[in-house]
Structure 1
Amino acid sequence: MRDLIQQVDAGLQAHDEFGDSQQIVRLNIERYKFALAVLAREDARLRAALPAVEALSHAQADKLFGDLLVRAELEAAIERLETGVAPLHQAGLLTWSLERSLARIDEPLSLSAAAMQRRFVAGPDLDGRRIWIWDLADAAEPAADALREALRLGFMPGGHCEAQLVRPSEAMVAQFDRACTLLQTLVPHVARSVFGHLHSVAFAHMRNERGPMLTASGGDATPCMIFIAPEELANPWDTAVHIMHEAVHLKLSDLVRTSAAVVREDMVTLPWGREISVSNCLFAFHAYVHLQIFRTAVERLGPELHATYGAPEDYRAGTRAHAMSVVNNASTAPFSRGHERMAYLARQFRSEWSHYLTPFARRMVDWLCAAIAPLIDMPAEAAPVAVAAGDAPAGAPTASVRYAKNPHLQLRPIQDRGVLFAADPAQPKIRKLNTAAWLMFELCDGRSELDLTQAYADLAGLASDRAWRQVEPTLGNLVANGMILPQGQSVAAREGRAA
């Protein structure tokens, strides 16, 4: 069993697109660099900072874009760019925080970490970076004031939630660090992966409309951080669960920043008595899969560690029951345990809910099911839905419609990842093209639909009719996103058909 646990632990991080945190973080950093370049068109100070940003090493860039103030203000600026919604934060704070962070990039602490009154760190050393613990002083100081405002406005907005920070003690930090070590000992690959997305932790008393909360992870206003109730820290087993749970959410957040996961954000009712959005269900499923490997490791390998950490049952009396607990979850009620919820969500996403997911998310769900299957039975993949005659592409490629690239685009190619970031000044939304869409974009050099289809068929090794089934929707998306411009006598008819 030890070998199987190690195999699944490593396998959950091995997927180049969904599992490899270094690649996920790197691609997100490229998105942020591109966003700064797009924003800099209207901001001279940002333009002046771009060369220094591009010159950063990966570790320095991770430190810069992992800083709470820099990332929060950059996400707010991206939202303003793409939606026109005014950000809630102080005007100019992005430029200020970016310049301040670049000025101290060679110092040990990031801008936000340096605003703490005391320096508390925990967790593994990742290229010179460890998790820093929130210890905001009461005194006024620009970075500390900005952090307080970020917490006030950004702790789980819209969820009727509140958080009261608790100043850490040395004992609390030691307890948190002990749980980090336990997590690394049991599932070293998963632990290293999720720690790559976690930059800071705050101890806090939290509540939402349902009552006290044990943990939470930051949204865009409080990114790269998690919150843990201080009374949870005495139990190393469930503290490790909390760290893993919330840090896995941060990992998926970083992943879906560059790849859309949900086609339509409907609310669904779960059999364990909750009504939540489809995307929240996807986040929950992703977390349950990762927590299953930890639960199995606790059951099979944990007894070897009881002398150091105590046995899980030793902490049961002081532990609130919850679905992910490895200490207090003796309930026999349906769907009260994490693995039951995981199996239910997998079944839904592979059947009734599959239409909510993008192809990217459907592939991720299938991979997660396959990765955890050696440890627990998972629902079989649903049979492919037959394509009805009316679902086939209308018409056929024509020689009368040609496509050319939009000459006004701003582009950032990531060659070794097969990814192209793009933005159209007329539709200032950051787009990410995967390898297939990027290939189609490059082929749009004035060629007709017939020529595009044949070129794609030759490159992909497909028959022309099969190639057109892939080419037509990709062309439609590229046109809708402003990436390419159709030209020719039948453009109006083609655009109407694509709509």
Structure 2
Amino acid sequence: MSVRDDDLVPVERALASHPEFSDAPTITLKAAEFYRFAVDLLSERSATVAGLADAIRDETGEIPVAVTEDPLVRVVLDEAVSRLEQGFLDESAWTEVVTLLRLVAEALDAHGASAAPTGAGISKGRTVRVAPGRDAWLCGTGAGSTAALDRTFLGTFERDFLRGVPGDLLEPTDEHARRLDEGFAALNALLPELGASVGAHYVGVGMVDVRTEGETFLAGNVGRIPAVVFFSPNRTARPWRLAETALHEGLHLKLFDIQRSASLFTAPERLADGPKIKVPWLKWASMVAPNAWALDRALGAFHVYAHLVLFRAALRTRLTPDLRERFGDPEPSDPPSLYRFGTERARYLGEEILARGGDELTAHGREFVSWLLATVDAVKEPTGV
């Protein structure tokens, strides 16, 4: 028995369009509204911030989406709102907000009112088509740039992405751009609804050479540079390899945006000291790769594995001759075993999160996990493969 393509359509649609847990237009709109609210909140408390915000607003009086999506803007506003919630925003935090808004206004003056403030400078106008109608800026090394926003982005990359690990942000070549376009095109051809839903959460992409000892760096993103994913050349070498990686990393971006407008955990700040989930497919533990995960890390992995169940089923059933001719054949996988692939990992993590989450999960969070488990169970596993 093989998985029929018709069996995958409702699962893909569910994973791409649930109004609270996956619908990209709704989720990204809520995220944009949060950051607009943050600017308004800060403007009420500072005439300087209010004046700078007015200089950024468009003809309708709104903060443009390109600004609310900007990774540096998001981080500074997140931190400012968090401090306000704790009751006090000190002088250094106000200075950071004012400085960033001034730099954003300068970038919009230099590159156009609809430009991505950080992206326009660091990418020099280069983009990657991550989904139909959706481009992400392709960041470069900033060589020769003296723009303060560019230097801030590059400093954040060094400090918060590399974190002391040897590596470099690469100046993208035409070949890099072509491979990125091709890999995202493969994802969107295989899973058109899910690809578009995940692509909506990409703002920027970059190419990196990260030299880790004992393991190969594939791709990654970091909370201090939200909505930007950095890929190694290894992951762009073949279209299906990049398609899976682009889906994986894009799901992390999506989960960040989901949590921006929906509370999944009752007290996220306590999770590091809360329940841990043993990871049976990680036999050894280290400081870098523990084999017992906090609930938020387990949820991030579970969210990805639940979608990879669909991706791998689609690779088995949706590869038409046209797709094979255009993108080649997927690379062979390892022989199946318990916890080797997404299905068993997803079921294990989802069930463990529900069992151990207790009071750490909100009712909304439990519903989210249960919904993902249901989508995993809805993908019928083939026999004889």
TM-score range, shorter chain: 0.7 to 0.9
User: 2:158, 2:186 → 1: CA distance?
Assistant: 32
Cα distance in 2 between the residues matched to 1:4 and 1:345:
24
Q: Distance in 1 between matches of 2:314 and 2:108?
A: 42
In structure 2, distance between residues paired with 1:54 and 1:172: 35
Does the C-alpha gap of structure 1 residues 298 and 112 become closer, same or farther in structure 2, counting only changes over 3 Å? same
Equivalent position of 1:401 in the other structure: none
The aligned residue for residue 483 of structure 1 is none
Query: Equivalent residue for 1:132?
Result: 137
| Conserved 8 A contact 1:64-1:101 | no
SS of match in other structure, 1:336: coil
Mark the runs of 5 or more structure 1 residues left unpaired by the alignment.
Answer: 314-326, 378-499
Q: Tell me, in whole angstroms, the C-alpha distance in 2 between the residues paired with 1:190 and 1:15.
A: 11
In structure 2, what is the equivalent of residue 2 of structure 1? 5
The answer on 1:234 being equivalent to 2:265 is: no
Q: Against the structure 1 CA distance between its residues 331 and 296, is the aligned structure 2 distance closer, same or farther, given a 3 Å change threshold?
A: closer
State the SS of the aligned residue for 1:226.
Answer: strand
Q: State yes or no: 1:312 paired with 2:315.
A: no
The answer on whether the counterparts of 2:278 and 2:292 sit within 8 Å (CA) in structure 1 is yes
Structure 1 segment 5-404 matched on structure 2, within 5 A: 5-50=8-53, 61-83=64-86, 92-100=98-106, 103=109, 107=113, 109-116=115-122, 118-124=124-130, 129-139=134-144, 140-155=146-161, 163-206=167-210, 211-219=215-223, 221-263=224-266, 264-265=270-271, 266=274, 267-273=276-282, 274-304=291-321, 305-313=323-331, 327-330=332-335, 332=337, 334-376=338-380
Distance (whole Å) between structure 2 residues aligned to residue 349 and residue 47 of structure 1: 43
| Cα drift, residue 79 of structure 1 | 3.6
Aligned equivalents of 1:240, 1:339: Cα separation in 2: 18
> Larger relative contact order (C-alpha < 8 A, sep ≥ 6)?
2
Q: Tell me how far apart the structure 2 counterparts of residues 330 and 285 of structure 1 sit (CA, whole Å).
A: 21
Change over 3 Å in CA distance of 1:354–1:149 after alignment to 2: same
> Which residue of structure 2 lines up, in the alignment, with residue 467 of structure 1?
none
**For 1:309 and 1:58, how far apart are their aligned partners in 2?**
45
Shift of 1:239: 0.6
Over the matched positions of the two proteins, sequence identity in percent amounts to 25
Change in Cα spacing, 1:46 to 1:210, as seen in structure 2 (3 Å) is farther
Instruction: Give how far 1:308 is off.
Output: 1.6
Q: Distance in 2 between matches of 1:131 and 1:123?
A: 6
Alpha-carbon distance between aligned partners in 2 of 1:370 and 1:290, rounded to the nearest angstrom? 12
Q: In the superposition, relative to structure 1, how do residues 24 and 30 fare at CA in structure 2: closer, same or farther (>3 Å)?
A: same
Tell whether the 8 Å contact from 2:53 to 2:101 is kept in structure 1 after alignment: no
1:309 maps to amino acid: F
Distance 1:287 1:56 in 2: 39
Superposition deviation, residue 23 in structure 1:
0.8
The equivalent residue for 2:286 is: none
Q: Structure 2: which amino acid aligns with 1:119?
A: G
Aligned-partner residue type, residue 32 of structure 2: I
Alignment CA distance shift 1:55-1:119 (3 Å): closer
CA shift at 1:34, angstroms? 1.5
How many angstroms does 1:132 deviate by?
1.2
CA contact (8 A) 1:155 1:163 kept: no
SS at match of 1:77: helix
| Number of matched pairs | 359
Q: Deviations over 1:59-94 (max 9, x none)?
A: 97321111222223222323443456966x957332
**8 Å Cα contact 2:161-2:222 kept in structure 1:** yes
Per-residue deviation at 1:166? 1.4
SS in structure 2 opposite 1:211? coil
Greater fraction of residues in helix: 2
Does the 8 A contact of 1:179 with 1:236 survive in 2?
yes
Find the counterpart in structure 2 of residue 404 from structure 1: none
SS in 2 for 1:276: strand
Distance 2:61 2:244 in 1: 29
Q: Structure 2 length normalisation: TM-score?
A: 0.83
- In structure 2, the CA distance between the partners of 1:164 and 1:56, relative to structure 1 (3 Å rule), is farther
State how far apart, in whole Å, the 2-side matches of 1:44 and 1:59 are.
17
Opposite residue 164 of structure 1, the aligned amino acid is D
Which amino acid in the other structure matches residue 368 of structure 2? M
SS in 2 for 1:205: strand
Distance 1:209-1:364 versus aligned 2 partners, 3 A rule: farther
SS of 1:16's equivalent? coil
Q: Deviations over 1:193-213 (max 9, x none)?
A: 111110111111235686332
State the Cα RMSD in Å: 2.9
Closer, same or farther in 2 for the Cα pair 1:303/1:261, shift >3 Å?
A: same
8 Å Cα contact 2:128-2:181 kept in structure 1:
yes
CA distance in 1, matches of 2:35, 2:315: 38
Q: Which has the larger radius of gyration?
A: 1
- Relative to structure 1, the CA distance from residue 57 to residue 192 in structure 2 (aligned partners, 3 Å threshold; closer, same or farther) is farther
